[in-house]
Amino acid sequence: MWLDKPRNPNAPHAGLKVVELARVLAGPWVGQIFADLGADVIKVESPDGDGTRKWGPPWVEREGPDGETRREAAYYHAVNRGKRSIVADFKRAEDLDRVKALIADADVLVENFKTGTLAKFGLDYESLAQLNPRLVYCSVTGFGQTGPRAHEAGYDFVIQAMSGFMALTGEPQGQPMKMGISISDLTCGLYSMIGTQAALAMRERTGRGQHVDMALLDCSVGLLASQALHYQVTGENPPRMGNEHAQVSAYGVFPVSDGQVVLAPANDGLFRKLLHVLGRDDLLGEERFATNEARIANRAEIDAIIAEATSGFALEELLTACAEAGVPAGPIHAIDQVFADRQVKARGMAIELGGLPGVRSPFTFSEAELALDRPSPMLGEDDE
């Protein structure tokens, strides 16, 4: 055990020891989720620290144990909550021995070095499995441990391009667009968490750990879901459709008198309810709008009709009417509006630890709780 007592004995992963040899986003995202779930996560950083400590602005300033004010990037704090930090230079024998001693009784190791790099230091899975046969070792790379691109570095933007995400995102006549968040990194972090927990569950049966090989490209391709099946079934690339839905109509962004609204009547029953809300019951008998397939064939016409009707409503007026009728609808929020939203507030998504703001991992349990007890560590904070 890393600690005499778990950080929160009622957290799902209380008592689990995780060593993180990771930096930037995908790997640290795994570590932060483990930390929120109660694991003791030891982040091993180079003497220069995780590079994201310098990825500002914006910056966060706080007082260090020496009384001096330290400035670090907000980006770093977004993915390193709840961890401990030690500094190690793998080229120094004493530092390497110290890291291996940490790993000797660890449950999980998370790393995101380029394929083959850690083998130079005896920190690869094959070497560490001899030291700790129960170790679940999760590697997060751009392209995985095998294949012609295995030794190449992978970056979120590149993976979004290669995975098909960008070809599917943006306006039909516009430029392919990346998403506004690092979706490939974050998704790989989530899939890595799932894979690592699956290996831990299997360890309960076999008594042995294993290597979990996670690739950003694999995870992003795995998210293609219905878009992949569109191609696999038809042999044709699915179109880029902006805010429209390839298989559902009418479904999109529509004008209101004071802005825009998202409407998502995803079946015939919801569409009929929407027509009633909009005061267009006269269209209920129209065959060209009676089914989803018919509406897709007449998409431009029905979208124009709905847009004309919604423009006569104020946003809150239409949202209230849709909610009462059971029609899925919502505002388009900027980030400040997200955290002012009463539902987001009710769910307690915004948190503060040690004077640092953050967003909690979105798990709510009936018999457990998260371990939200410490902010992101300063570099080398736990060296002693």
Mind telling me the catalytic residues? 185
Q: Give Cα 206 distance to the centre of its chain.
A: 30
Half-sphere exposure of 379 (CA within 13 A, CB side): 18
**Bridge partners, 85 (sequence order):** 43
Largest CA distance in the chain: 80
Distances (CA, A) of 239 to 8, 170, 183, 222, 245: 48, 10, 20, 18, 10
Rounded Cα distance between 50 and 87, Å, is 10
Token output for 81: 């909550």
Token output for 292: 């989803």
At residue 281, what is the residue type? Answer: D
Rounded Cα distance between 224 and 210, Å, is 28
User: 240: which DSSP letter?
Assistant: P
Rounded Cα distance between 253 and 257, Å, is 13
Q: Note the helical H segments in the chain.
A: 26-36, 74-77, 93-103, 125-131, 156-162, 165-168, 183-206, 216-222, 225-234, 268-277, 292-297, 299-310, 315-325, 335-340, 342-346
Strand, coil or helix: 44: strand
Rounded Cα distance between 222 and 44, Å, is 30
